[in-house]
Amino acid sequence: MVMLQIVPYEEIMALSSVGRIRKLLNLAKEDKIVLLQGRLKKEEEAELIKATMEEINEDFKGIELAVINPTIENLTGLKRFKNRVINALLGNRTGFTVIGPANIVKQIKKDPNKIELLTSEKTNQKNKRNKRRNNKKR
Amino acid sequence: MGILALLKRFIFGWFSRRDSIRLGLYGPPNAGKTTLANKICVDWLGEEMGQVSRIPHETREIQIKEQIKLEHKGKTLQFNLVDTPGIATKIDFEDFIKAGLPEKEAKKRAKEATKGVIDAIKWLDEMDAVIVVLDSTKDPYNQVNITILGNLAARNIPVLIAANKTDLKKANVKKVQAAFPQYPVIGISAKYGKNIDNFYSSLFKLVK
């Protein structure tokens, strides 16, 4: 079973950059696919990658990350400018960010208006491995 | 990027840009960063920079070659070349085992690779200009590519995209250009030196 956790922008709005990254990464480490309303700042995306690397071990292989932003890509001129001002003042709420644990999400394919999550069989392998470990302990 | 960092960049750039530009090579793993670094170093220093491999994350530490003097069409450009480990969002030691490494070595490589990614991101602030090396046979809309380019733009660092591996049938430079129309994109084969003269011309435009 794949669990999808929706995170509204309001839930991360008041958090510091470190807090945002921690929250999203913790959800991914709980084997949940995170669907965040809006997007992180560019610098926060890089920090998220850094934080992910610090936590990689035999069970946590990292994340798959994708940002889909259909509205802004279609905007032009004044509307685009207006959107940027709103984003600067209130945070970037347009589009979605998908963060999936790499042991579940093998690849994220996207085009401007849709995303495809290719899931992995490794979750089952991991469950089997855990079962084997538990049996050995008994 | 903070105001202090911007100020530092401005002052640093004003006094020393012409003498010792720090030119970074960034990109995802196995895009050909070290192959391109080797090509540049062999062409202008007569020696290679680092080892290349078909197994991803061969470069796991920052490598620097100093005082490379590039001469092209009567102009001279001097820079320090910084080859960085490939940036990735996931690293699985089992992939290295599948590629033929023994388990112990695969785990060691994975651990070193994670440190390499962290170092590569930390070094972003130290660059004066960057060549983003992408594998032109792969999907350019990969989030790692977008994150790297976004971070360079946020730091006002000039960027040239080298769409590498044009010697391969699947290569699609136009797709890379369409994905990143705001950046100069040049198709090359670092391995065979294809279009390398135009690459050097673009490099002059980037930093001069």
List per-block mean pLDDT (blocks of 10 residues) for chain B, which spans 208 residues: 57 53 96 96 91 87 93 89 96 94 95 96 96 96 94 96 97 96 97 96 89
- Chain A residues at the B interface, defined by Cβ less than 8 Å, are 41-43, 45-47, 49-50, 52-54, 56, 58, 61-67, 102, 108-111
Q: Which residue has the tokens 């970037």?
A: A92
Nearest chain B residue to A99, by CA:
B89
Nearest chain B residue to A102, by CA:
B90
- Residue A70, H or E segment: helix A70-74
Q: Do A46 and B117 touch (CB under 8 A)?
A: no
Work out the average pLDDT over A119-128: 60
- Euclidean distance between CA atoms B25 and B18, whole angstroms: 19
Q: Compute the nearest-CA separation of A38 from chain B (Å).
A: 15
Type of residue at B75: K
- Euclidean distance between CA atoms B184 and B2, whole angstroms: 27
Do the Cβ atoms of A117 and A108 come closer than 8 Å? yes
Beta strands in chain B (DSSP E): 21-26, 63-72, 75-83, 129-135, 159-164, 185-187
Q: How many CB pairs under 8 A join A and B?
A: 70
B106 to chain A, any CB pair closer than 8 A? The answer is no
Task: Report the share of chain A in percent with pLDDT over 70.
Answer: 72
ipTM given for this complex: 0.87
Q: State the pLDDT at residue B16.
A: 47
Work out the average pLDDT over A102-121: 82
Residues 6+ apart with CB under 8 A from B203: B23, B70, B77, B131, B160
Cβ contacts of B86 on chain A, cutoff 8 Å: none
Q: Whole-prediction pTM value?
A: 0.85
pLDDT digit string, tens, across residues A15-45: 999 999 999 999 999 999 999 999 999 999 9
Nearest to B118 among A45, A54, A63 (CB): A54
Residues 6+ apart with CB under 8 A from A86: none
What tokens were used for A37?
């309303």
Question: For strand B185-187 and strand B75-83, is the pairing parallel, antiparallel, or unpaired?
Answer: unpaired
> Residue A62 carries which DSSP code?
B
Cβ contacts of A95 on chain B, cutoff 8 Å: none
Closest alpha carbon to A17 in A44, A53, A45, A55 = A44
